[in-house]
């Protein structure tokens, strides 16, 4: 059970127990939440609770989603939130440039909010946002830990419009906290707080194609400036972002197709879902027969495929020294309603009813990647996270909370 230092205390709504030393003095019972703010700690002179120890046991599970900018994190988050049945929106009445998205079950925070240097600061120091020196990992750890322990925090906001750090916003402990961004698995202390971690591994060719599509079409950037920005970020991406994939429980790897020789359009994709074996509460998905090696072309009477077709593969492998199962899809669907044929051949998909994957994919047919393995595997990972959450919740419900003395 975690032990926290109380900085400022406001009753909200969770289960924390206070050490016997402070409990009578503070007059709290076990149904309280604590509000932790680093800045208040520094500035509050007459804080009679400062330094008191409390023990907390929050119910929040924490999911980490790592990827470079423009690699589909927001799209993935929309699919994940939808699996839990609600729409996500920024905190009501808050900063219009907040990066946070809240739904009934999930709160998604963007780790850009832990940039310690604003845009000017990074320019002056000659560092990119990917450089750990531009980020406050102590605060990230302290606040993610606090939320996990059931303690609300005042999280800073990095304003992507102005490039400045805005006044903080209150984040209350949700059922599921998703921390998405460049560095959820970089700092070991933060990594150890994660109940499940995902890395979106977009190959350079595909990343380039997506960036061009978005930044040229939607943001008016020139081809040259996009190329320059990718090149400028690459050394830090290789040094600080990419290595995090070794820690991920699931990796979605997006590569150019192998179905079209020398394809350089980047429209048809080969996508791999790499699932670590032996992760608590996570049973990897399989095709036909668990642990076997399978290659499958589903095109025919039950699945319409135009050129270049669709090919699935499944089998065991090793990834950074870990035993993994890999499910792969190359190609794209012509008709999403026929996806049910593929779904019915997959097992361990954690659906609640027959056809749930197909239903989710049809519901968000307009999201990028809905006709290929990116959308399919993001949906599957969303279902696995729901399953993980339900298993953890069931385990906690059957284990009564034990008050801990500090
Ligand atoms: N699966 C996909 N297939 C095709 N294009 C995609 C896919 N996912 C994302 N994209 C493209 O990449 C762009 C960025 O996607 P998204 O906003 O989800 O990424 P992000 O990682 O949240 O970006 P940022 O961190 O910059 O906000 C989309 O506008 C789209 O052009
Ligand atoms: O890599 C990024 C993560 O999204 C951004 O580039 C970083 O947060 C800096 O943002 P901005 O370009 O708005 O100053």
3-state secondary structure of 21: coil
CA of 378, closest atom in ligand 1: 1
* Residue 395 backbone dihedrals phi, psi, to 5 degrees: -65, -45
Cα separation values, 319 from 68, 266, 272, 323, Å: 20, 25, 12, 7
Ligand 1 centroid vs 364 CA: distance in angstroms? 14
CA of 269, closest atom in ligand 1: 3
* Cis omega (within 30 of 0) for bond into 308: yes
Atom 6, ligand 2: residue with shortest CA distance: 129
Ligand 2 in reach of 129 Cβ (< 6 A): yes
Pocket test for ligand 2, best of 67, 68, 69 (most atoms within 8 A of CB): 69
Q: In what order do the strands lie in the sheet with 16-18?
A: 2-5, 53-56, 16-18
Residue 331: its H or E element: strand 322-331
pLDDT of residue 266: 75
Ligand 2 centroid vs 315 CA: distance in angstroms? 37
What value of ipTM does the predicted structure carry?
A: 0.95
Tell me the C-alpha distance between 62 and 74, whole Å: 17
CA of 122, closest atom in ligand 2: 14
**Nearest ligand to residue 130 Cα:** 2
Q: In what order do the strands lie in the sheet with 152-158?
A: 35-36, 152-158, 165-171
Q: What is the chain's pLDDT, residue by residue, as a tens digit (406 residues)?
A: 333 344 334 434 344 443 323 332 333 333 333 444 443 333 333 333 444 444 456 789 999 999 998 899 999 999 999 998 878 899 999 999 999 999 999 999 999 999 999 999 999 999 999 999 999 999 999 999 999 999 999 999 999 999 999 999 999 999 999 999 999 999 999 999 999 999 999 998 898 888 887 777 776 788 888 888 888 899 999 999 999 999 999 999 999 999 998 887 778 999 999 999 999 999 999 999 999 999 999 998 889 999 999 999 999 999 999 999 999 999 999 999 999 999 999 999 999 999 999 999 999 999 999 999 999 999 999 999 999 999 999 998 887 655 444 4
Ligand 2 in reach of 112 Cβ (< 6 A): yes
Pocket test for ligand 2, best of 112, 128, 140, 240 (most atoms within 8 A of CB): 112
Contact 223, 216 (CB under 8 A): yes
Ligand 2 in reach of 69 Cβ (< 6 A): yes
CA of 110, closest atom in ligand 2: 4
pTM for the full predicted model: 0.87
Strands (E) across 159-309 are located at 165-171, 176-181, 196-202, 250-256, 269-276, 286-287, 294-296
CA of 158, closest atom in ligand 2: 8
Query: Which among 174, 173, 112 has a CA at the least distance from the CA of 140?
Result: 112
Atom 12, ligand 2: residue with shortest CA distance: 160
Ligand 2 centroid vs 112 CA: distance in angstroms? 7
Pocket test for ligand 2, best of 160, 162, 184 (most atoms within 8 A of CB): 160
Residue 107: its H or E element: strand 106-110
**Nearest ligand to residue 183 Cα:** 2
The tally of CA atoms less than 13 A away on the side-chain side of residue 72 is: 27
């Amino acid at each position: 059970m975690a032990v926290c230092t109380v900085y400022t205390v406001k009753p909200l709504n969770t289960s924390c127990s206070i050490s016997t030393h402070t409990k009578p003095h503070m007059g709290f019972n076990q149904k309280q939440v604590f509000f932790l703010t680093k800045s208040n700690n520094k500035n509050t002179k007459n804080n009679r609770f400062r330094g008191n120890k409390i023990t907390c046991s929050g119910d929040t599970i924490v999911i980490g989603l790592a990827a470079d900018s423009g690699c589909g994190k927001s799209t993935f988050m929309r699919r994940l939130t939808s699996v839990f049945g609600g729409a996500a929106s920024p905190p009501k009445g808050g900063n219009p440039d907040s990066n946070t998205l809240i739904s009934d079950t999930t709160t998604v925070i963007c780790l850009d909010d832990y940039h310690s240097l604003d845009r000017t600061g990074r320019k002056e120091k000659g560092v990119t946002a990917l450089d750990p020196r531009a980020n406050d990992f102590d605060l990230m750890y302290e606040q993610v830990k606090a939320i996990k322990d059931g303690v609300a925090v005042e999280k800073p906001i990095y304003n992507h419009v102005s490039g400045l750090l805005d006044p903080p916003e209150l984040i209350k402990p949700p059922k599921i906290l998703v921390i998405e961004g460049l560095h959820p698995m970089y700092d070991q202390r933060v990594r150890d707080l994660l109940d499940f971690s995902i890395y979106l591994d977009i190959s350079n060719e595909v990343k380039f194609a997506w960036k061009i599509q978005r930044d040229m079409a939607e943001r008016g950037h020139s081809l040259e400036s996009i190329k320059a920005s990718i090149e400028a970020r690459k050394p830090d991406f290789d040094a600080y972002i990419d290595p995090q994939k070794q820690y991920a429980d699931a990796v979605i790897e997006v590569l150019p197709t192998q179905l079209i020789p020398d394809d350089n359009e980047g429209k048809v994709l080969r996508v791999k879902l790499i699932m670590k074996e032996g992760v608590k509460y996570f049973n990897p998905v399989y095709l036909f027969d668990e642990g076997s090696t399978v290659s499958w072309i589903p095109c025919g009477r039950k699945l319409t495929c135009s050129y270049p077709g669709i090919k699935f593969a499944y089998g065991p492998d090793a990834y950074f020294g870990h035993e993994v199962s890999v499910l792969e899809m190359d190609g794209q669907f012509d008709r999403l309603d026929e996806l049910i044929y593929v779904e019915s051949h997959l097992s361990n998909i954690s659906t609640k009813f027959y056809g749930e994957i197909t239903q989710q994919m049809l519901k968000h047919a307009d999201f990028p990647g809905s006709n290929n393995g990116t959308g399919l595997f993001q949906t599957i990972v969303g279902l696995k996270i729901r399953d993980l959450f339900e298993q953890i919740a069931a385990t906690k419900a059957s284990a009564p909370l034990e008050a801990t003395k500090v």
